[in-house]
Copies of this chain bind each other. A is one copy, B any other.
Amino acid sequence: MAGAAIEFEGVSKWFGNHQVLTDIDLAIVPGEVVVVCGPSGSGKSTLIRCVNGLEPFQRGDLVVLGDSLASAGVRMPALRTRVGMVFQSFNLFPHMTVLENITLAPVRVRGLSATEAEKTARTLLERVRIPDKAGNYPANLSGGQQQRVAIARALAMQPKIMLFDEPTSALDPEMINEVLDVMTDLAKEGMTMMVVTHEMGFARRVAHRVVFMDAGRVVEEAKPEAFFAAPKSDRAKDFLSKILSH
């Protein structure tokens, strides 16, 4: 698809002999928010990690912001500055303050001066609603705060795409919303987002499209209203009945 921000073209991936992604075809246009869901082990994380090259794949092609990842020439670090990623387990650098976490890449990779980087960082901290935590170490923040710092850290590189891999599933229930709210803001500002999550409320409210995976394949793709109202596949029905009922 011309103009897609992310385009999977028959991507397949194996861990040893074990195939974890099978013939994935999927295109995401700029400004689109896609939620990926599916049972544990279905390949959601693997899928999203392919987009910024954390996982190599063996067949097919994946074009991200115009660069084909299958071709040899692509410079990964450069690509990654344009694709931000947020992990389930935050992965803040524990030996650095919040500010240092956020300014590390802008200074080291984009070559900003420390003062410039710090200015941007403070703006971002306001955006994720913790302006007063700049000097703290990650260990002294709650999970929700840590995850919001992680989002700020990714945004500091001014990425065109943001990837989220279960950003709220390591959080206490009361903190989930603070993170989802920040993500909702981002979506409203027009960021292109791929989000692996089980928060179906978020999917319903924010996503433009829901992608349901099972056993390494994209089984269903639909607008959220359609998906939640009437999932087409049995796998998706079963899955939704399990996670929506409790």
Main secondary structure of the interface of A (DSSP, over half): helix
A199 touching B246 by the CB < 8 A rule? yes
Q: Bound state CA distance, A245 and B201, in angstroms? A: 8
Q: List 16 A-B contacts (CB under 8 A).
A: A39-B172, A39-B174, A40-B142, A40-B172, A40-B174, A168-B246, A173-B242, A174-B239, A174-B242, A174-B243, A176-B243, A177-B246, A199-B246, A201-B245, A201-B246, A202-B246
Q: Does A180 contact B (CB under 8 A)?
A: yes
Most buried by B among A174, A175, A177, A198: A174
B245 touching A177 by the CB < 8 A rule? yes
Q: Give residues of chain A (208-241) contacting chain B, Cβ–Cβ below 8 Å.
A: 239
Q: What are the residues of chain B within 8 A of A174 when measuring CB–CB?
A: 39-40, 239, 242-243
A241 and chain B: residue at smallest CB distance: B177
Q: Bound state CA distance, A174 and B168, in angstroms? A: 16
Q: What are the residues of chain B within 8 A of A173 when measuring CB–CB?
A: 198, 242-243
CB distance from A148 to the nearest CB of B (A): 15
